[in-house]
Structure 1
Amino acid sequence: MDTGIIEHEGIVQCAEKGVVHVKITSRSACGACKARQACGMAETQEKIVVVPTPEAGCYAPGEAVCVGVRKKAGRIAVLLAYGGALVVLLAALILSVGVFGAGEGVGVAVSLAAVVLYYGVLWLCRRRIEHTIQFTITKI
């Protein structure tokens, strides 16, 4: 049954007033493969997720928990991080080279600068974006 939630198991690092810091291990698609030791292609990465919750006092360091986020929120994050950057990159490249007649080197530089500017605007809007992407936490 599809619940519409992406979940990861993790360990509570610390709990502060209103927030719980959870360490999760992110694995690549082949991270669970039995041949990953010999292959060398598997990739695991530890990440700390900050989960705002009014019940933060109920969680103790070292406790196993499950952190979840709605799939829709995950899609929005991917769209903002990758889709938006791609659109900005292509638009800047087409405008600078195709419309304004700049050389390819200048077009690439303008495109990369536009992407940096795009990520800067995302960073400035991060508080507003945080409210659309909310994590949940449950004890295991």
Structure 2
Amino acid sequence: MPLRLKRIGFLALLAVFIIILLSANYHCALAQEKDGKTAPKTEKSIMPLVTFVEIGSVNCIPCRAMQPIMKAVEEEFGEQVNVVFHDVWTPKGKINAAKYNIRVIPTQVFLDKDGKEYFRHEGYHPKAEVERVLKTQGVK
């Protein structure tokens, strides 16, 4: 019986988190986009080996901690890695959160050169670990 109560409690907590996540204030998010405070979505001219999709928010502390890592990956690996950021508290970001079945933020989704997911991580992901994941696809 205690296991069942824990499971129910976990599901209830998860449901509350999802409701909070999906009921973010649209006006605030739109204002942030207009001010240019969201991380840029980069498009590369050649086909990258990996697309590193970071799904989070500019208002989330662990998500903000991922911003320097994303920038470092872009600078270090150049056109080998396409770094994309989606803010889940914007209308477009909510669509992408649903597309990638995001449960928590931040979440990192790694796509191979064919666009197929080959790795996913939830929470803060240290740079050394991100690099290890990238190198499994031939990124140098």
TM-score by length of 1: 0.25
Higher relative helix content:
2
TM-score by length of 2: 0.25
Higher relative strand content:
1
